[in-house]
Structure 1
């Protein structure tokens, strides 16, 4: 883990000077050649383990007292596809890169990571790496200034434990349920989240044994009414006669289920895209083969025509010589007489 003014960075791969590739600024559309890529900002990361067990990730953490958060990140690297994770390691999105340059069988991609909300902590995972050496040519962090209070309100790793103790002292609802409500409010795709939560609820209910005490039932019913008042499309309190224990519903479990479902969706989409690309390549190969065959046939046809023309010319010359032969002999006899 290496620190510089305002941020702390770390990587799962080995690098001599990881901070050299970072630039912090306020430009939302920086110039690739002027603001991001420079000769002294190019770094090489090396994997010392198996690639399948050690993906290349970079963690970026803004200092609590720096008064800044990140809204946009521009990355210039050899990776065509980046995955981004949030404050607590939850999956946020996948960002494809655009081909910037290519030389000596090396492709350079530019990737713009546009976050939905400012973050003080994020992780970038570089996917589909085939070699144990990987080059990054520059990372530009677009910062926004926030107040110290707002910066602390943006959760960072380690804040969850403090929040749990504070709720326990004040005899407030468990933080897992409050985080669950916040997750419902922050998620824009309600239909997808509803399906994921129903799947999660069915899996959790199988592990729940026993009944909830009367005091817990009254507390859960009150919390159910609050959730329903926020959005009745997610939870129907009348249908949940015996809800699972609140202690078993943790934010980590919900994030794991959502992350698993999103990864499955991403895998299906990427497989579909790869299949389409393969079909397109096969079609192009077939077209090139047909063009090559036509070109070869035209060359053979041209050679045959040339040989036929040469044969006809030779035949004409032979006929002319045959016809002119008696006249030449008569002329020679006349001269001799």
Structure 2
């Protein structure tokens, strides 16, 4: 008998019945491909442990509405509203709903918002969130608990508490961007990165320069906040510290637009003096002058992967014993800035 001082989990039932977690899910929800003897053994184990099935899994199987919590860190970045729109459209096709939560960068406020959110949703999709954001979630809200909320991470840091990931192939995308720059004669290529952590974009950038024999020094890279003002400040630093730069790859489009503004203010022509490539492929990139060349992330594909992964977890179709991972590509959109 499990220790009843703590919630009984589906894993406890699986251990007692001698079956997998997926088999327990299928048996308790009346799904096919389970023998009568196995189903009876699972039901008996659940009764013995007084197990109460996760309401999200039951809702999924029985056709009731599922609610997804989409967690972002800053809705002022247009990337997140574009992603939220795609996720909401895809969720609505299944008659699911989405709650959007902008947790911000205040740790205590973020913790409070997350704790409130997990009581209202059946699964969480976290995007752009760092490891410390995931660690704010209370233990009884996540994997392996009786009423646990599955976590799906989109383009974020690795964490043992996350059930599934959608990764972005930055190597191929950054390679395409830098191929474009080198093909148009650029050799002194800088990078403006996030101030939080060295991003996968930075790793891909450094790897490309190394493999193609292009120059790199510490003065080639600049880090600042993931905002318009952060891009402006980084561009100012680039002008002062790396005046020979003839191109720059930027962490996101919002920062890239800030960089365009600073270059224009400083009398530096884009793309004549310096080419600029952002990342995200935001619609707003076509509204600035010059129009922004960008590595576009397919927000619809990202959202579709997220919903599919949530579906797999809640229905018991997720691979046993490992985190499911999917990948999506970046597409270079060539406009006027590079």
Q: TM-score, normalised by structure 1?
A: 0.25
Query: Which structure is higher in helix share?
Result: 1
Higher strand share: 1
Greater RCO between the two (CA within 8 Å, min separation 6)?
2
Larger-gyration structure (1/2) = 1
When normalised by structure 2's length, the TM-score is 0.25
